[in-house]
Amino acid sequence: MLIRISLILAIVAALAVGVVNFVFVKDKINTLVTDRNTQRTGRVAAEGELAKTKKELAKTQDELKQTQQQLADTQSDLAKAVANVAEQTKRADLLSDKLAKTTQERDDAQSELAAYKVSGLTSAQVAKLNQSLKDMQEEIVALNDEKAVLQHARNRLQAQLDFLVGSNADIVLPADLKGKILVVDPKWDFVVLNIGDDQGVKENSELLVSRDGKLVAKVIVRSIEKDRSIANVIPGWKLGEVIEGDEVSPAHPAS
């Protein structure tokens, strides 16, 4: 009987130990599973961050290449603008010298004509001198016109040069310059003006848009023709909707 009781107690103890071990092992397994899941989640997150970092790095490298290309293009444009300004300046100087020489020749011809009239020249000789004087005057007018064209071209190139080198100086326009808006594109915020090169408009110059004496916006000129120009509305200066017929005037008029 005692042996049987002892045997039963031993079996019960063994079962108790087995249950305890099972609970302990189960806790260990749950802990290991939790740690594994946590590590897996961390690894997935790390891999996601790594992929995102690689993508951002590739994007940054592309943007750097684009910036370098834009810098190279800007430097090339700057070199061309400097060369054009130098060429136009040289042509203008040569034209001024030629104009001065032609003016002097005209004055000399007038003096000679007056002297010949006093000396009693024939009508044929006087007519020849008059024709020579007329030809010189026409040449002077043509030279003055060419000089004005060259001066306009020089002013445009100088404005482009100032824009390329990042000049902070305001581009001054004639104080009496007035114009109107002919066309408005609200989608791209650009306008067409009825004033251009002949009126003294310069590229990258700024104009104020007004209606009934009230400021509506400020625009910057991007393209110029003989009597037309195209300008963009400057962000932050759009105080109202720009419409056809609005008046424009220089933002920086000459004093």
255 touches 223 (CB < 8 A): no
Domain boundaries, position 237: 179-250
The tens digit of pLDDT for each residue in 94-114 reads 877 888 888 888 877 777 767
Give the angle subtended at the CA of 39 by the CAs of 35 and 44, to the nearest 5°: 150
Domain boundary at 164, 191, 225, which? Answer: 164
Rg of the chain, C-alpha, whole Å = 43
Residue 198 lies in a domain: yes
Q: What is the CATH number of the domain that holds 191?
A: 2.40.10
Which are the contacts of 242, defined by CB distance < 8 A and separation ≥ 6? 181, 184, 186, 191, 209, 216, 217, 233
Q: pLDDT tens digit string along 27-76?
A: 666 676 676 777 777 777 777 777 777 787 777 777 778 877 877 777 77
Q: How many domains does the chain have?
A: 2
3-state secondary structure of 233: strand
How far, rounded to the nearest angstrom, does the alpha carbon of residue 223 sit from its chain's CA centroid?
11
Shared domain for 98 and 148, answered yes or no, is yes
Strand partners, 224: 229
* Residue 10 counted as domain residue: no
Q: Are residues 191 and 159 in the same domain?
A: no
Same domain, 130 and 186: no
Contact of 223 with 181, CB cutoff 8 Å: no
Q: Residue 185 pLDDT more than 60? A: yes
CATH number at residue 105: 1.20.58
Position 168 scores a pLDDT of 47
pLDDT, residue 221, reads 93
How many other β-carbons are positioned within 10 Å of the β-carbon of residue 116? Answer: 15
Q: Record the pTM.
A: 0.41
- Angle at CA of residue 100, ends 98 and 101, nearest 5°: 65
Structural domain contains residue 147: yes
Q: What is the pLDDT of residues 224-253, one digit of tens each?
A: 888 999 999 998 898 999 999 999 999 999
Confidence bin at 17 (pLDDT 50/70/90): low
